[in-house]
Every structure is written in C-alpha cells, then in structure tokens.
Amino acid sequence: MGALSQFRAGVIGAGVFAEANLYPSLSLHFFDDLERAAVCDLDTGRAERLAGKYGWGSIYNDFRKMLDTEKLDAVFVCLGGAHHPEVATAVLERGLPVFLEKPSSIDVEGTRRIAQAAAKAGRIVQVGHQKRHGLAYNRAREIIGDRERFGTVVQIESKMHGFTVFPTFYTCMLEWQCHNLDLVVSFGGDIAEIQSMAFRQTEKTGGLVSLLRFQSGALGTLAWGTYGGPGQFAERIEILGDRGRGVIVTNAREVTCYDEDVGETWAPDWNPISRNQSHVFNGYVGELRHFIDCVREGREPVPSIHDEVKTMDWLARIAGGAGIPLEWAPVSSAL
C-alpha cells in the first residue's frame, strides 16, 4: 500500500488552550500525513510564534482570507464558544470539514446553527471532547463492549469537581463538566428523563446533583459543582452491568474492572515514549487522529456536531431543572 497523500490543514486560533494541547498534539509523529499549511489569529505575534515552534506555514490575521487563499482539506477551530458559530459556519460554507474545540457554542441555538450549516454543506464537524478518546476511557469501553461477560449497562454513577474561577455556575458546567456529560452519554446512550437540584451557595458557586434515565431504561447520577478542583480526585465514573461486573475510571487515569470475586486495575505505562505522552493518554492525539481519518474515509466522527446538539440541550435542561441561570461569561486565559 502506498503512502497516504498529505492532508492539508489550517488552524484558526492560537490562544492558551490551543498552545497547550492542539499544536503540540498535531506535531507528534501520529500525524506524519499532515501538511501544516496555515495558522490564523488576530494576534499575529502569537500565530507567528506557534507556527514557528510547531512547523506551520503561512500566517494570517483574517480567517476568511486564509480560507480563500489556501487550498485546505479541513480546518481546526479553537476560539471559544462565543465565536465558534460564526467562524465554523463560514468554514462550512466554503465546503471544508471542521474540528471544533468545545464548547461548540455558549447556547443550544449556536450549536444547532453549526449543525444546520454542516448538514447543508454535507461536511462533518467533530467536537473536541478529548476524554472520549482517552486511553483509560477507551479501555473501559472495551470491557463494557464485551456484552457476553459484562452484560447490559444498568447504572452509571459519575462525578466531576469544578473550581471557583469560573465567572458563573453555568460557565463551569459548559466549559468543564460538559466533558463528563459527553462521557456518560457515550456509555449510557441518549437521555430520556432528567431530574436535578442544586445548592447555590452564591450566585456562581455551589453543588449540583442530577438523576438521569437513559432511553435504554438504565439510570445515571451526576454529582457536579464548583468546588474540589481539577486535581487527582476530580473525576470518577462507575458503570455497572447486569452480569455482576463493574468498571471504575478514576480521574481519567486508572481503570478498575471487578466482579463478585476479584478486581483488576489497569493504568498506563508512563515511560517517556510517544504512545504514553500525556497528550496521547488524555485523548487529544486520539481525537485529532480520529477527525482526520473520518474526513479521509467519509464517515461521521464521534462526537459529531449533531451529537453535541443533544448534549447541549441536556446540559441546559440539567441546569434549568436545578434553577441555575443559563448565563455564560468569558473565562480568564489563566485557565
């Protein structure tokens, strides 16, 4: 089999998150077929610095000019939810697939606008929920996928701590806990019913719990809030099957599979080789590779923008049922 043709891509956005995760991930050998064609950012200095550091080509401060000038196969968009609907739809109108960092928008309407543009253009949009492609969650999915041994999922218990730097409670949910909801749905399927309540200690802080019933009939619980921080105790998901087996993923790092008699724990090897680097383990490399492969093969990515419309709707229903206003505010780049 001959070598793959080069996949010519551009990036719109050179901010803090993109610098920390997007650019270094795309520079690894997993993307030997990627031609790093162009970078666009309003801050030309940042664009030039990242392009130079990670081997990208042309520099732009007007994304429309980049799209009109470069012959691209796809575009990575990482600007923040407030700007994503305008930019993503403009890219789609030019017939290009989009990798879109989360949040896809600051409200359901913006996400739906992107989904409609994708359907009209006949192009894919993948939303950047990297945890879905993380090694620990992939391992858990393999265990649960063995239906003969694991059976049917009957219950999912999940938590994800928050932190108080977010300017509103809903901003914490939208920017942070959306990952947890995407994961829960990836294991449990579509949600049929939601009940939720919150302890609002202040206008922007507190705790939240939610009870879910999936369309399959299985139940799920969510425990979120604005305290606890993003550290080693931040995340936990436990999935129970009807054949006496369960799987626990702790902080996206450890996977424990157990039954009535024994438990086994899996964790990655942290030797400094490429497949164990943090961007691989956390799912950034996996999601970006998945996007390129889906574009090449003409298949729908996971999660797609159409998946994300449902997730954004469920997120709003969780917040609304708990009396949390759907108010978003810009997040400091210090995050």
Residue 330 lies in a domain: no
How deeply is 273 buried, as exposed, middle or buried, from its count of CB atoms within 10 A (0-12, 13-18, 19+)?
Answer: exposed
Residue 95 lies in a domain: yes
Average pLDDT, the chain: 95
Regarding whether 80 and 49 lie in a shared domain, the answer is yes
Q: Hey, what amino acid is at 3?
A: A
Q: What's the rounded Cα separation, in Å, for the pair 238 and 287?
A: 23
**Cβ distance 303 to 154 under 8 Å?**
no
Residue 296 lies in a domain: no
Regarding whether 87 and 155 lie in a shared domain, the answer is no
CATH of the domain at 17: 3.40.50.720
Regarding whether 309 and 199 lie in a shared domain, the answer is yes
Regarding whether 122 and 54 lie in a shared domain, the answer is yes
Regarding whether 146 and 110 lie in a shared domain, the answer is no
In order, the DSSP letters of 121-166 are: HT--EEEE-GGGG-HHHHHHHHHHH-HHHH--EEEEEEEEEE-TTS
Q: Which helix (H) or strand (E) holds 246?
A: strand 246-250
In the listed set 101, 130, 159, which residue is the last one of a domain according to the structure? 130
Regarding whether 160 and 70 lie in a shared domain, the answer is no
Q: What is the pLDDT of residue 333?
A: 59
Regarding whether 316 and 195 lie in a shared domain, the answer is yes
The pLDDT tens digits for 59-115 are 999 999 999 999 999 999 999 999 999 999 999 999 999 999 999 999 999 999 999
In the listed set 130, 149, 170, which residue is the last one of a domain according to the structure? 130
Does 303 sit behind a cis peptide bond, omega within 30 degrees of 0 on the bond before it?
Answer: yes
The pLDDT tens digits for 3-31 are 679 999 999 999 999 999 999 999 999 99
Residue 69 lies in a domain: yes
Can you say whether the dihedral through the CA atoms of 297, 100, 183, 262 is positive or negative?
A: positive
DSSP-based three-state secondary structure for 54: helix
pTM of the predicted model as reported, rounded to 2 decimal places:
0.96
Q: What's the rounded Cα separation, in Å, for the pair 160 and 148?
A: 30
Q: Which domain holds residue 252?
A: 134-267+305-321
Regarding whether 143 and 105 lie in a shared domain, the answer is no
Regarding whether 171 and 82 lie in a shared domain, the answer is no
Residue 321 to residues 36, 107, 109, 160, 208, Cα–Cα distance (Å): 45, 16, 19, 19, 10
CATH of the domain at 138: 3.30.360.10
Regarding whether 123 and 143 lie in a shared domain, the answer is no
Number of domains comprising the chain = 2
Rg (CA), the chain: 20
The residue length of the chain stands at 335
In the listed set 130, 152, 170, which residue is the last one of a domain according to the structure? 130
Regarding whether 28 and 167 lie in a shared domain, the answer is no
Regarding whether 111 and 49 lie in a shared domain, the answer is yes
Q: Name the percent of the chain lying above pLDDT 90.
A: 91
Q: What's the rounded Cα separation, in Å, for the pair 295 and 308?
A: 18
